[in-house]
Amino acid sequence: MTTQHVQLSTLLEQFEEEMITLRRHFHENPELSFEEVETPKTIAAFHRALGHEVREGVGGNGVVAKLIGGKPGKTVALRADFDALAITEETGLPFQSKIKGRMHACGHDGHTATLLVLAKALNKMQADLAGTIVFIHQHAEEIAPGGAKSMIEDGCLEGVDVIFGTHLWAPAELGKVQIASGPLMAAADSIDITIKGKGGHGSTPNETKDSIVLAAQFITNLQQLVARRVNPLRPAVVSIGHIEALNPFNVIADKVYMKGTVRTFHNEERDLLEQEIEEVLIATCYLTKAEYEYEYRRGYPPVVNHPAETEHVIEAAKKVSIVEAVEIVDPTMGGEDFAYYLEEKPGAFFFVGAQNPSWTEVYPHHHPKFDIDERSLRIAANVLGQATLDYLEK
């Protein structure tokens, strides 16, 4: 390791408590996607206090800060998201969310704290840095169309040569860094479906077109698409996550509303499923001549890491003493709008294990009891920082 790397590691260790304090502040004061007001103000003020160039309101509620090194060189962008979810927290933590119905249940509070304190550490090294570092603090990752696309359109990647990002990852144990070259996370699309039958009294089903029965048949038939229409070597998921028919117990519903998600990695499967879901819907409704409404909305594209930049992160992570293992993993069906940055610039996205090995029960992301091991923040900052310094030293 070079003198710079040792200095960065030392600074991040010194600033670890501040990193945790910031994370807890954001955790207590969550703001939902596209409703972020105080969080971006706090972020901007932090960077201004360091003397960084700061631009607020980027693509909506985003913040972009720039640290210009003492020597000329390349430009590295680092991204962290800061929005929360519409979930009521049930962790019982002393710094639990102060707002009912809002919670940082995905780790974005940690992402933000990580990037802020990494910026502070790199600022201490400014005179020796050969290049520029752009800190992209992104709003609205959780809800499509997301904040990444609008921030890109507003110029957050102008002059950038490479971009790196990370996600604190509860499924992976503390000390692990996980990454893959090529596809890492899936395209995340949504479907909205209404089946319109004919309602009536539960005692006279023969006079109705039972939309609940049709919905049940549709959901069952839907399972054949991935099992029998999609190439088994190409991952895909179709899941109905919401169904409702607002009617009394003894009334056959005339209408059923459903919402679901479709996850794929390739446009071939994406196009196929968009068409075939409607074909299944048509065939199901034909049984009773019922009508339907169908909307397929394309969300984030897949996160596809660039090979050279993936290898760059792998080598950087191996140099970080508090990283216990670097793992090449299979892609996950989760989605992330970091995908848009990778469509514009070379880069890589990776996971940092945030699961305490001693926990008896681990709650998934987006769960009311979700939590992270806060030691993961310093690991994430070190890997991002190491990758940045290595790139600027090339």
- Residues with catalytic function: 83, 141
- Tokens 């390739």 sit on residue: 266
Residue 145: CB atoms within 10 A of its CB come to 15
State phi, psi for 51 to the nearest 5 degrees. 85, 15
Residue 144, token pair as written in the block: 């499509």
Cis check: omega of the bond before 331, within 30 degrees of 0: no
Residue 194 bridge partners (DSSP): 257, 293
Q: Are 212 and 248 in contact (CB under 8 A)?
A: no
Instruction: Please spell the DSSP secondary structure of 305-352, one letter per residue.
Output: E-HHHHHHHHHHHHT-TT--EEEE---BS---TTHHHHHHS-EEEEEE
Quickly tell me which residue has 């706090």 as its tokens: 42
User: Is the alpha carbon torsion for 124, 125, 130, 131 positive or negative?
Assistant: negative
- What is the rounded CA–CA span in Å between residue 300 and residue 251? 39
Cα separation, 114 vs 379, whole angstroms: 9
Read off the DSSP letter of residue 127.
Answer: G
Biggest distance spanned by C-alpha atoms of the chain: 82
Could you give the CA distance from residue 375 to residue 303 in angstroms, rounded to a whole number?
26
